[in-house]
Amino acid sequence: MSNSVIIREAKKEDMHQVCQLIKDLAVFENCEDQCKMTPELLMEDGFDTENPLFKSFVADRNNQVIGYAIYFNSYSTWLGKSTFLEDLYVDSKYRGQGIGRKLFLSVAKVAKQNKSKRLDLHCLAWNPALEFYKKIGATNITESESWNYVRINGCDLDKLFD
């Protein structure tokens, strides 16, 4: 068997392995207590609906998913169609082999084919991947434009209607 890595579109049956990698990412980001994802939810939201909420690429090595990228269409009121890269993660045992770059380029290619005007993502300030993104031409708009990433979590969202 070959040890080569294939980047391909994710399939429904990959979601158990992708979910484990999502949990690994949450551990890496020191947020494992916040990760509530299940394979069933991934399957429902990405595959069991007429309008999937996300699309995904996986890095496949001998039928083992060792990395993934999840993205979705978004919209800029200034520019139009956009793509948002929600997650890009490679198992720590396989980093430094260009797999993350290949996953990223797969998403970027889709964004270009879809005529997206931009590809957005977020990255923790301490994550070494931030340097990778800067090297390939990404702009840290927190620094350049003083944009803040803001979130209202489920409990607080519920409180708006209490």
Over the stretch 103-152, which tens digit does the pLDDT of each residue have?
Answer: 999 999 999 999 999 999 999 999 999 999 999 999 999 999 998 888 89
CB burial readout 113-131, b (16+ within 10 A) else e: eeebeebbbebeeeeebee
pLDDT of residue 3: 72
16: pLDDT strictly greater than 50: yes
CB burial readout 25-56, b (16+ within 10 A) else e: bbeeeeeeeeeebebeebbeebbeeeeeebbb
1: pLDDT strictly greater than 50: no
Closest by CA position to 122, among listed 54, 15, 29, 16? 29
Over the stretch 96-105, which tens digit does the pLDDT of each residue have?
Answer: 999 999 999 9
2: pLDDT strictly greater than 60: no
Over the stretch 27-83, which tens digit does the pLDDT of each residue have?
Answer: 999 999 999 999 999 999 999 999 999 999 999 999 999 999 999 999 999 999 999
Residues annotated as part of the active site: 133
Where do the domains of the chain lie, and which CATH numbers do they carry? 6-122 (3.40.630.30)
